[in-house]
A and B are shown apart, each in its own frame.
Chain A
Amino acid sequence: MSSLLDSLSRFYASSIGKKLLVALSGLALIGFVLGHMIGNLLIFAGPDAINEYGHMLHTMGHGGLIWVARLGLLAAVVVHIVATIHLTRQNKAARKDAYGKEATRVASSASRIMIFSGLTILAFVIYHLMHFTVRVGNEYNNPALYTAMLDGQPVHNVYKMVIDGFSWAPASVFYIIAVALLCNHLSHGFASLFQTLGLATNKTWPLFQKAGHAFALLILVGNCSIPIAIWLFGYGR
């Protein structure tokens, strides 16, 4: 037992071990980001579609599955951030004296600001959860205001909450900035994770790179379409 734990702690202590954990947690988070966007786009299918979707998420497995998903996501986020901060600190320590003349040949600007884009996204995620999940500082938890009828059953009015949420300009602006940074983060992170997992070969790398850029763009356009439609074009207002 202890030798098993020794092996696991040696794995985490190693550079590649931590990187593999960052890659795997990143892959899980990429899956979430895609699913989250597809679900949210139901806003364009009208109130019933997104309200039913929200109700379904909250009642799956007698309301238990959403907590399984939340805890899984929390674990992925914690692993992704803790390992990355650890790695970044080691990277800073590995070159004590900076070059007098710095030059960059091929590293993308996105790859050079991963820690800043990542931590800004983290700040946004905390705000976003307070806004739409915990719902503090707003009336979204008030059943008198945010209840919709779905097949004769009262459910939370997700549609009205999202429309009201994004009608407030600062929320929409912060959302768009965060999604732009997420797009930037993914433009390096998506392909990079396949290199770390050892799946990048001369044959597959161009595909991973193109898929990464396409995915980052999809996330940008898909997610930003919601606040832009509501805030700028008055969708649903």
Chain B
Amino acid sequence: MALLNLHLKVWRQTGTQPGHFQDIEAPEIPDHASFLEMMDIVNERLIRAGQDPVAFDHDCREGICGMCSMTINGMAHGPERGTTTCQLHMRKFRTGDTIWVEPFRARAFPVVKDLMVDRSAFDRIIKAGGYVSVRTGAAPEANEIPVGKEIADAAMDAAACIGCGACVASCKNASAMLYVSAKAGQLNTLPQGHAEKDRRTLAMVRQMDAEGFGNCTNQYECEAACPKEISVRWIAKLNRDYAVASVKEVVGIGRQQSGDGD
């Protein structure tokens, strides 16, 4: 085991007050520690020195919950492809390195404290349409609706999204299109989600816009940062589904013909 001596530049901020970078020395960090474990060590030292520890989000620490965030050296979840911050290990850094640690920056993700941001905008997008309506009661027979293998596989690819927000953080425009396209696309692909496809697509995109995210400019930084490697082709599908749903809405297809609307 090697020990690393690191120089950290950590963003410190309380609520809506202006933040700043704090220089923190992090000597003797074991190279087998994860990035979050390194932050734990730094915090223990800060607490022992009577200083305020750095606030950051974390939960499962095994790359599946989507809770950890942090922009490390300008890259959401750090430099490793397909990796969350909790799965990033210090052996990817060298002793003497200066590491910039910042929150996921977006107007729609206000800073709560230090590296913690409020990602509830994502929850409101799900609430707008990221579901399928099912009748309650006895569980339906599992194979009642046949789902093709290719369809199921594609839907699972989109469903791999853990909603961490790295796509927003890495996008030059703080756009949430990769997240929304994965969540809408997963359901729009499956037969169970087909009935509410148009309504879902319009509602989720409108909520996304209302939250103040930016617009996609097809630069694909999101795909490069995504810890689950969600493909930007889901964004193409969302664009397609939105175009179809909009045209139907403009000309009134899908509304009741008797005139009482829906």
Q: Are A103 and B74 in contact (CB under 8 A)?
A: yes
Given contacts A7-B246, A7-B249, A201-B233, 11 further A-B contacts (CB under 8 A): A14-B205, A15-B215, A19-B215, A87-B215, A94-B108, A95-B214, A99-B74, A105-B221, A107-B221, A188-B218, A198-B236
A114-B221 CB under 8 A given contacts A17-B246, A91-B173, A198-B241: no
- B124 on interface, CB distance cutoff 8 Å: no
Q: Are B11 and A100 in contact (CB under 8 A)?
A: yes
Q: Are A195 and B74 in contact (CB under 8 A)?
A: no
Q: How far is the CB of B154 from chain A (nearest CB, A)?
A: 10
Q: How far is the CA of A112 from the CA of B173 in the complex (A)?
A: 11
Please indicate the chain B residues that have their CB under 8 angstroms from the CB of A98 in the complex: 105
Contact with A199, one of B215, B231, B232, B236 (Cβ below 8 angstroms): B236
Q: How far is the CA of A165 from the CA of B235 in the complex (A)?
A: 46
A11-B233 CB under 8 A given contacts A87-B215, A100-B100, A112-B219: no
- Closest chain B residue to A191 by CB distance? B218
- A70 on interface, CB distance cutoff 8 Å: no
Q: List 30 A-B contacts (CB under 8 A).
A: A10-B206, A11-B246, A14-B209, A15-B205, A16-B205, A16-B242, A18-B215, A90-B173, A91-B215, A94-B108, A95-B105, A95-B107, A97-B19, A99-B71, A101-B74, A101-B102, A104-B221, A105-B224, A105-B225, A106-B219, A106-B223, A107-B172, A191-B218, A192-B218, A195-B236, A199-B236, A199-B240, A201-B236, A202-B231, A202-B233
Q: How far is the CB of A93 from chain B (nearest CB, A)?
A: 7
Q: Are A100 and B232 in contact (CB under 8 A)?
A: no
- B67 on interface, CB distance cutoff 8 Å: no
A94-B173 CB under 8 A given contacts A7-B250, A201-B233: yes
Q: How far is the CA of A94 from the CA of B9 in the complex (A)?
A: 24
Q: Are A195 and B105 in contact (CB under 8 A)?
A: no
- A102 on interface, CB distance cutoff 8 Å: yes
Q: Are A195 and B102 in contact (CB under 8 A)?
A: no
Q: How far is the CB of B219 from chain A (nearest CB, A)?
A: 4
Q: How far is the CB of B97 from chain A (nearest CB, A)?
A: 12
Q: How far is the CB of A112 from chain B (nearest CB, A)?
A: 7
- A96 on interface, CB distance cutoff 8 Å: yes
Please indicate the chain B residues that have their CB under 8 angstroms from the CB of A107 in the complex: 172, 219-221
Q: How far is the CA of A4 from the CA of B220 in the complex (A)?
A: 34
Q: How far is the CA of A19 from the CA of B19 in the complex (A)?
A: 34
- B238 on interface, CB distance cutoff 8 Å: yes
Q: How far is the CA of A11 from the CA of B250 in the complex (A)?
A: 8
Q: How far is the CA of A198 from the CA of B238 in the complex (A)?
A: 7
- B88 on interface, CB distance cutoff 8 Å: no
For the complex, count residues of A whose C-beta is within 8 A of B.
47
Q: Are A196 and B239 in contact (CB under 8 A)?
A: yes
Chain A residues near B (Cβ < 8 Å)? 4, 7-8, 10-11, 13-20, 87, 90-91, 93-108, 111-112, 114, 188, 191-192, 195-202, 205
Q: How many contacts between A and B, using CB within 8 angstroms?
A: 145
- B216 on interface, CB distance cutoff 8 Å: yes
Q: Are A101 and B219 in contact (CB under 8 A)?
A: no
Q: Are B215 and A95 in contact (CB under 8 A)?
A: no
Q: Are B21 and A100 in contact (CB under 8 A)?
A: yes
Please indicate the chain B residues that have their CB under 8 angstroms from the CB of A4 in the complex: 250
Please indicate the chain B residues that have their CB under 8 angstroms from the CB of A16 in the complex: 205, 238-239, 242-243, 246
Q: How far is the CB of B94 from chain A (nearest CB, A)?
A: 17
Please indicate the chain A residues that have their CB under 8 angstroms from the CB of B120 in the complex: none
Q: How far is the CB of B155 from chain A (nearest CB, A)?
A: 15
Please indicate the chain B residues that have their CB under 8 angstroms from the CB of A105 in the complex: 75, 170, 221, 224-225
Q: Are B173 and A108 in contact (CB under 8 A)?
A: no
A106-B221 CB under 8 A given contacts A93-B107, A97-B105, A101-B73: yes
- B7 on interface, CB distance cutoff 8 Å: no
**Those 3 A-B pairs whose CB atoms lie nearest each other, nearest first:** A198-B240, A103-B74, A94-B214
- B91 on interface, CB distance cutoff 8 Å: no
Please indicate the chain A residues that have their CB under 8 angstroms from the CB of B220 in the complex: 106-107
Q: Are A111 and B11 in contact (CB under 8 A)?
A: no
Please indicate the chain A residues that have their CB under 8 angstroms from the CB of B105 in the complex: 95, 97-99
Please indicate the chain A residues that have their CB under 8 angstroms from the CB of B170 in the complex: 105
Q: How far is the CA of A201 from the CA of B213 in the complex (A)?
A: 25
- B86 on interface, CB distance cutoff 8 Å: no
Q: How far is the CA of A105 from the CA of B170 in the complex (A)?
A: 9
B residues 191-236 in Cβ contact with A at 8 Å: 205-206, 208-209, 212-221, 223-225, 231-233, 235-236
Q: How far is the CB of A17 from chain B (nearest CB, A)?
A: 7
Q: How far is the CA of A95 from the CA of B76 in the complex (A)?
A: 15
- B34 on interface, CB distance cutoff 8 Å: no
